[in-house]
Structure 1
Amino acid sequence: MPRYWLMKSEPFKYGWSDLVAEGEGTWDGVRNHQAKNNLAAMEVGDQAFFYHSREGLEIVGICEISVAGITDPTDPEGKWAAVKVKPKTELPHPVTLKQIKAEPKLADCELVRYSRLSVAEIQPDEWSVILSMAGI
């Protein structure tokens, strides 16, 4: 069964439009152990929300894991995980962090509980709620 994720990126470094322009991007540079474990748990076909951090603070799109289980190419020691992702769809209505925090059904969401986590798992029921909030 596919799993769902949320991946944060600062839009001025690598935003949704960058992923769309590339067609496929490598999600690398993660240096947090829990986020690394989440990246390592991903499988091809899993879906992830693309979240703009620092600027916007909102989920703007959905991407799909296209290559899983790779070593981060930016890590010379080979200890950190990475995946490749392809853009799937831009959200009709971005979902802000403020909206997510205001939704009681998302109170236990890793995005809310572990705000500094750059790669978080999203439960299927949370995924559905966020899709609804986005107009999907």
Structure 2
Amino acid sequence: MNYFLVKSEPFKYSWEQFLKDKQTFWDGVRNYQARNNLQAMKEGDLVLFYHSNEGKEVVGIAKVIKEHYPDPTTTDERWVVVDLAPIETLKKPVTLETIKADPQLQHMALVRQGRLSVMTVTREEFDRIVALGSE
């Protein structure tokens, strides 16, 4: 099992919309490192859903339901998407401020590489964020 974090600006695609849709393909990634992370996702992997810009908080947990395939929004073969489905809304969103203040999360990619839209997360980081969101 691998763990990831994806970012979305709530005005473009919110957690609430994701819940209504029940699944989506994660498109629009145009950064090679983020693309490589999409390519590394396997069916069943868990994904933290982060609202960027507005809110700056982890709001839910999703899972990968289909591994990478060509991004249907472009003819450029370099870009891929994965299909995701929501699993659970966190009881309490975990803010970027909380993450930065937590000693267990200091080395998280979200803290070190804030602009990356799709990133890996360790099992310990994932579990810690879920615990913080359950309090």
Counterpart residue type for residue 131 of structure 1: V
Task: Tell me, yes or no, if structure 1 residue 65 matches structure 2 residue 64.
Answer: yes
Residue in structure 1 matched with residue 18 of structure 2 by the alignment: 19
Counting only pairs closer than 5 Å after superposition, residues 102-117 of structure 1 correspond to structure 2 as 102-117=101-116
What is the CA–CA distance in structure 1 between the aligned matches of 2:63 and 2:106, rounded to whole Å? 25
Q: Report SS of the residue matched to 1:44.
A: coil
Q: Which runs of 5+ in 1 are unaligned?
A: none
Counting only pairs closer than 5 Å after superposition, residues 55-134 of structure 1 correspond to structure 2 as 55-134=54-133
Ranges of 4+ aligned residues in structure 1 off by more than 2 Å = none
Question: Deviation per CA, 1:97-136, whole angstroms, max 9, x where unpaired?
Answer: 0000000111110111100000010000111111111117
What is the CA–CA distance in structure 2 between the aligned matches of 1:42 and 1:28, rounded to whole Å? 14
What is the Cα deviation at residue 33 of structure 1?
0.6
What is the Cα deviation at residue 42 of structure 1?
0.1
Q: Which runs of 5+ in 2 are unaligned?
A: none
What is the CA–CA distance in structure 2 between the aligned matches of 1:15 and 1:130, rounded to whole Å? 19
What is the Cα deviation at residue 73 of structure 1?
1.0
Aligned length: 135
Q: Report SS of the residue matched to 1:129.
A: helix
TM-score by length of 2: 0.97
What is the CA–CA distance in structure 1 between the aligned matches of 2:115 and 2:109, rounded to whole Å? 10
What is the Cα deviation at residue 71 of structure 1?
1.1
Counterpart residue type for residue 84 of structure 1: D
What is the CA–CA distance in structure 1 between the aligned matches of 2:68 and 2:24, rounded to whole Å? 14
What is the CA–CA distance in structure 1 between the aligned matches of 2:63 and 2:132, rounded to whole Å? 20
What is the CA–CA distance in structure 1 between the aligned matches of 2:85 and 2:24, rounded to whole Å? 7
What is the Cα deviation at residue 29 of structure 1?
0.3
What is the Cα deviation at residue 36 of structure 1?
0.2
What is the Cα deviation at residue 74 of structure 1?
1.2
